[in-house]
Every structure is written in C-alpha cells, then in structure tokens.
Amino acid sequence: MADNTTIVFWLEANDTLGNTIENGGNASNPLLSYTVDTAAPEAPANFDAVAETGVINLSWDAANDNASGVDLYNIYRNNTGTDFIDSDYIGNRTDTSYSDVNSSLAADVNYNYIVVAVDNLGHESDDADTANATFEPGVPVDITFDTVDSIIIADGRDTTEITATIVDEHGRTIQSGNLSFNTDAGTLNVTDGNDYEVTDGSYTVTLTSAMETGVANVTASLEGTDITNTTQVEFADSTTTPFNLRAGWNQMSLPLIPADSSIETVLEGIDEGTDVEIVWAYDAQSGNWTRYIPGVGGGLEEMVDGKGYLLKADSTGTMTVSGYEDVDLIETPRAYDVYEGWNLIGFKYTGNMISSEYLGNVATSTDRLYGLGGELEMGEDMQKGQGYWLAVSQDGTIYPPGYTYSTPK
C-alpha cells in the first residue's frame, strides 16, 4: 500500500429484527484511522552555522514528511572532521534553530554540525549538509558562587569553601582571568586585594568563621573590569539536642536544622553502643523509597529537617543532633511541602507541640496522622525526634511555627 494512504475503520451491524448498531461510525466519521508511513522525512535544507561571541547559532528549513509529519530534529557536533557517531549527539529541537553554548566549546576551534529530521513514527531523514563555524569566546559579564555551607558555627574554627566562577552573557564559564577576594567578617585563606589566576574558569577560597554570630559578605572582583559580586555566609550559634531510640524500628526525624546533613555525619550522633542496621526515606512526590546501610551505602545520602525516616537500630540508645534551631539569617524560613496521599514527615522542634499548631493550614486537609505508637488526633502532641505518616487530601506546605529572629552581633 502506498505511503500517505489513510485506512479508516467503522462498524456496521444489525440484528434479525433490522436494528442497526449505534455509534459505529462511518467512512467520513470512522472509529479508527491509520495513515501508512514507511518513508523517512526529507533532509532539512539550508542548514547553517553562524558564530557569535560565546555562542554558535544553527538554523535550517523545516523538513517535509508526507505522512505522519516531523516530530523533532536531532543535532550532532564534532571537531574531528570524521563521520558523525551517536556520541556526537548534543540535543534536539522541535523548531528550526539551536544555540550551542556548551561549556566544552573551546576558543578558535572549528566545529562541524549536522541535523537530522525524525518523523512521528521514528523514521530518520538523511543528514543535512554539514555546517561549520569557529567558536569565539564570550565576554565576561558576571561572577557566580558555589558555597559548600552557607551557615557555619561561630567558633573561629569552622570553615566553608566558596568557589567563584567567571561567566559570559550565556552563563557559560570563561576559562581565564584574575580574581581578588575580600570579606567583612571572618578570615579568608587569601590576601585581601591580591589577584589570583583562575584556571578552568573558577577559583576556590576558604572562609573561617568569626567568634561571634553575624553574616560575612564575601566579595570577588575580576581584574581589569568593574565586574564584582558578593555572596553571604552566616556565622551562627549551634546547639545539640538528644532523643531516644528504641531497639528495632524507629519512626524518627531531626528536631534541628543539621549543621552537616550528610547521613554518615548525622548518624555519628548515635551512642557508640547502638548500631544502625538500615535507614529508609520515602519521597511522596515520586512515590519512591531510598535507603542507606552503614558500611554499604545506598541512594539515601542526606538526612534533613522536615522529613521522616524509618531507622532500625540493634539496641536502645540516644541520638544527639547538632545544628541550628532557628531560621538562618540569610535564608527564608523553613517550609516543607506535602503531597496528596501519604507523606513521611519530620517534626522540626526541640520540644513537643500540638499537631494542629505545627501543621497549620495543612491540618484542615489532614485525613490521618500516625506516629509509631498509632493514630494521633489534631489536639494531641507531636514529640521531639519523632517522624509521622501524614495523609492529606491535597498538596500543601507546612510552615513550622516557633522561629525566633535574632539581630546579628
């Protein structure tokens, strides 16, 4: 049967009394139709590559497909001058243009591109004629930061690493330049005002906290330009709070914002005489479980405030959490999303609190709330260190009460 031939199906039937079937369709209004498509689309025409500062822009004419129609275009790049292979694939588009700003593009290197049309049945066209362009590096416009910990202990010893990266107008890393750094609190491991050569676009400094609470403004500046940017790190008083673990399964959570959320560090707060066998976490949004087994590992890498966990211990013991009770000065207050259905939630509070007060507006849509000991009513207390199964009839957000804001010293 020829391509682009449409086959239609409808149903005609009647019984011995002459009654005909209803809603069986007809040739002009069929129950089902199918268009024969065995051919690939035509190759995209007028494929072109144009280099501008920091980007190579690709464009082409829409390809024709006489049956199912074009679904998308696959784009490939290399700089070898050889035939293209699967690993040269860089992305796809449903329209007829593409801007390549990939961070792997190198200055003064000539790049070759092809584009392939794919129809709605997966048939691929021939390659478009190869287009090429030589990449021109972008111009620095900003400095971005990646900070390991935005809050550290105000003890004069705690540290965090701050990585400054030079980027162009497309957010692409600029590979070279000289940066200087300064801070108005704490100390850096570099000399204030000195320029430091950037390699691979980034430079990392270490900030040591001051002995008093407050916020450090760490500024990086690019030599020879007026480009500068500032990031903040809070120096905060940390605290600890203990709670009991039972032998066997515990439905638990962290009553503090952990100073270090890595699961290995959090579990170090358990008595030496108590061994953890396994920890499970449940993601209500995806419906997935993740776990961690000491000495083995697993998909669960962090334990954070606001989430509940199932922890199995070999004996009774005490777990002590080190962290922060109040909101970070340079962050928004904590908020924990819940999703329609069952959620394994935490209780971020260092005492007990009536469940309706902690859950706030979420309490109005709460169908069930279970601790390890059974179901709770809305007037009953939630307890420090415990986790809870919460069933809600709609998505919502828990905004924990009890924050106290302090003025930086």
In a domain, 23, yes or no: yes
For residues 266 and 212, state if they share a domain: no
For residues 265 and 360, state if they share a domain: yes
pLDDT of residue 102: 84
> pTM of the entire structure?
0.60
Q: How many domains does the chain have?
A: 4
Counting beta carbons within 10 angstroms of the beta carbon of residue 30, is it exposed (0 to 12), middle (13 to 18) or buried (19 or more)? middle
SS3 label, residue 388: strand
In a domain, 37, yes or no: no
| Domain limit, last residue, from 134, 152, 184 | 134
In a domain, 303, yes or no: yes
Look at residues 345, 324, 331 and name the one whose alpha carbon lies nearest to residue 402: 324
For residues 401 and 317, state if they share a domain: yes
pLDDT tens, the chain, 409 aa long: 556 667 767 777 777 776 776 666 777 777 776 665 667 899 999 999 999 988 999 999 999 987 778 999 999 999 987 789 999 999 999 999 999 988 778 888 999 999 999 998 888 999 999 999 999 888 899 999 999 888 888 889 999 999 999 998 888 888 889 999 999 999 999 998 899 999 878 999 999 999 998 899 999 999 999 999 999 999 988 889 999 999 999 999 999 999 889 999 999 999 999 999 999 999 999 999 999 999 999 999 999 999 999 999 999 999 999 988 875 666 678 899 999 999 999 999 988 999 999 998 898 888 899 999 899 988 899 999 999 999 999 999 999 886 544 444 3
pLDDT of residue 149: 85
In a domain, 41, yes or no: no
In a domain, 43, yes or no: no
pLDDT of residue 218: 97
For residues 399 and 260, state if they share a domain: yes
For residues 171 and 263, state if they share a domain: no
Q: Is 46 left (phi over 0), alpha (psi -120 to 50) or beta?
A: left
SS (H, E, C) 36-55: CCCCCCCCCCCCEEEEEECE
For residues 406 and 294, state if they share a domain: yes
| Domain limit, last residue, from 173, 207, 236 | 236
**Which residue segment(s) compose the domain that 86 sits in?**
48-134
Are 378 and 356 in contact by the 8 Å Cβ rule? The answer is yes
- CA 95 vs CA 19, 74, 102, 131, 403: distances in Å: 51, 11, 19, 18, 49
For residues 89 and 212, state if they share a domain: no
In a domain, 225, yes or no: yes
pLDDT of residue 28: 74
For residues 18 and 102, state if they share a domain: no
| Domain limit, last residue, from 101, 134, 167 | 134
For residues 252 and 389, state if they share a domain: yes
- 220, β-bridge pairs: 181, 229
In a domain, 191, yes or no: yes
Contacts 24+ apart (CB under 8 A), 270-275: 270/245, 270/313, 270/317, 270/318, 270/319, 270/320, 271/317, 271/318, 271/319, 273/315, 273/317, 274/245, 274/313, 274/314, 274/315, 274/316, 274/317, 274/318, 275/313, 275/314, 275/315
For residues 289 and 218, state if they share a domain: no
Residue 112: DSSP 8-state: E
pLDDT of residue 405: 42
Look at residues 157, 133, 148, 169 and name the one whose alpha carbon lies nearest to residue 54: 169
Are 238 and 158 in contact by the 8 Å Cβ rule? The answer is no
pLDDT of residue 371: 94
For residues 208 and 262, state if they share a domain: no
For residues 269 and 313, state if they share a domain: yes
Indicate which CATH number applies to the domain containing 107.
2.60.40.10
Give the whole-angstrom CA distance, residue 239 versus residue 256: 9
Look at residues 218, 217, 213 and name the one whose alpha carbon lies nearest to residue 235: 213
In a domain, 26, yes or no: yes
Q: Count of alpha carbons within 13 Å of 397, Cβ hemisphere only?
A: 5
Residue 146: DSSP 8-state: E
Laid out side by side, the sheet with 55-59 consists of 48-52, 55-59, 97-100
